Amino acid sequence: MKASEIAGLLESRISGNFDAWADTVDDIKGDKENSLSFISDPAYLKYLSKTNASILLVQDTIDTSEIDSNFLKKDRAYIVVKDAYRSFIKLIYKMIPDAINSSSCKITDKMISDTAKISDTAIIYKNVFIDEDVHIGKRTVLYPGVVILKNTIIGDDVVLYPNVSVYQNSKIGNRVIIGASTVIGSDGFGFIKDDDGSMLKVPHIGGVIIEDDVEVGSNTSIDRGTLGNTIIKKGAKIDNLVQIAHNCIVGENNILCGMVGLSGSTELGNNVIMGAGSGTKGHIKIGDNCIVTARTSISKDLKPGSEVKGMYPARPLAEELKVQTLVGRLPELYERLKKLEKGGKNG
């Protein structure tokens, strides 16, 4: 799609080469050539010098002087709009409909596609579905009920237990073990309000990359990235019923115990331990070697080596009801303490 064509679809102002061309979309941090990207927050201007995007949607509140000087080389264009992110989302639907619209898919009438490449030494149980252009490595075992959607690559010595679902374009390394009913590559949870108040789905065209020697338990969900990938680095171990949202990075040799929940774009360093039921807010970074104890909620970045705890402890029922009341009255108690310190007494 030409820049002028894109600008024509939007209420917008275009600068640079009107013939600049994009046939895909990318994050401003990504490296895809001929891509459309966007900037809705000045904090991302720093990525301008490195991006390969050929066309940029820019929020109308952003000072474009840096874009003028920095981005408009190499025959590129930028387009100023009122809501850069929303315009970008809508353009994805126009530019790459096949990446999103399942109902346009051609389907094979075989359980194992003729275009799948499966090692002779792989063990494929009955009732496994393998879609087009899937690769399955040596000695890999796929138990019954496993479904592998198209263009997925699975390495050697992998075990996928019954009823595991792997969405399209996933990459799974060697010696990976995945427990039953676990889902790899489901859509991330992203919606934006449209003009009419309805919710517009953010399409998810990124993938999931699971590196070597990872183990994942049963009934766990690992979402695909929005534009880039969700990445589980080598040696990480993930337990049952864990939620890993879109675009998370789970570091090497991490331990994520049962029922951990990572919100979108969480980045965990290497050798991080997340205790059972702990969780993170989105877009935060947890440094190498951090230990998060069970059921702790992390809402800001943690420096490497931090050990944090935030589990509200159990107490006998009657005692706890008193404690809870007093916790709620702390602002009042604090005022009373201050008054005493100033010499005041009640009454």
Q: How far is the CB of 182 from a second copy (least distance, A)?
A: 8
The sign of the dihedral angle between the CA atoms of 63, 225, 252, 172 is negative
Q: How far is the CB of 318 from a second copy (least distance, A)?
A: 8
By CB under 8 A, what part of segment 124-183 binds a second copy?
A: 125-127, 129, 139-141, 143-145, 147, 149, 157, 159, 161-163, 165, 167, 177, 179-183
For 343, phi and psi rounded to 5 degrees?
Answer: 100, -5
Q: How far is the CB of 76 from a second copy (least distance, A)?
A: 35
Residues 168 and 150: beta-carbon distance below 8 Å: yes
Strands 191-193 and 171-172: unpaired
By CB under 8 A, what part of segment 199-228 binds a second copy?
A: 199, 201, 213, 215, 217-221, 223
By CB under 8 A, what part of segment 264-283 binds a second copy?
A: 276-277, 279, 281
The sign of the dihedral angle between the CA atoms of 119, 120, 123, 124 is positive
Residues 6 or more apart in contact with residue 240 via CB below 8 angstroms: 179, 217, 218, 219, 220, 258, 259
Residues 176 and 155: beta-carbon distance below 8 Å: yes
Strands 237-238 and 291-292: unpaired
Identify the residue among 31, 61, 63, 111 touching a second copy (CB under 8 A).
111
Catalytically annotated residues: 246
Q: Is 285 in the site for a second copy (CB under 8 A)?
A: no
- Quote the tokens at residue 103: 């109902």
Pick from 192, 281, 264: nearest CA to 221: 264
103 secondary structure, DSSP code:
G
Taking the C-alpha atoms of residue 280 and residue 291, their distance in angstroms, rounded to an integer, is 13
Q: Which is nearer to a second copy, 73 or 106 (CB)?
A: 106
Q: Which is nearer to a second copy, 228 or 279 (CB)?
A: 279
Q: How far is the CB of 276 from a second copy (least distance, A)?
A: 6
Identify the residue among 73, 98, 195, 314 touching a second copy (CB under 8 A).
314
Q: How far is the CB of 304 from a second copy (least distance, A)?
A: 14
Identify the residue among 240, 247, 265, 266 touching a second copy (CB under 8 A).
240
By CB under 8 A, what part of segment 28-87 binds a second copy?
A: none
First to last CA, the chain: 77
- Pick the stretch among 13-21, 28-36, 61-69, 334-342 that binds a second copy (CB under 8 A): 334-342
Identify the residue among 18, 19, 69, 123 touching a second copy (CB under 8 A).
123
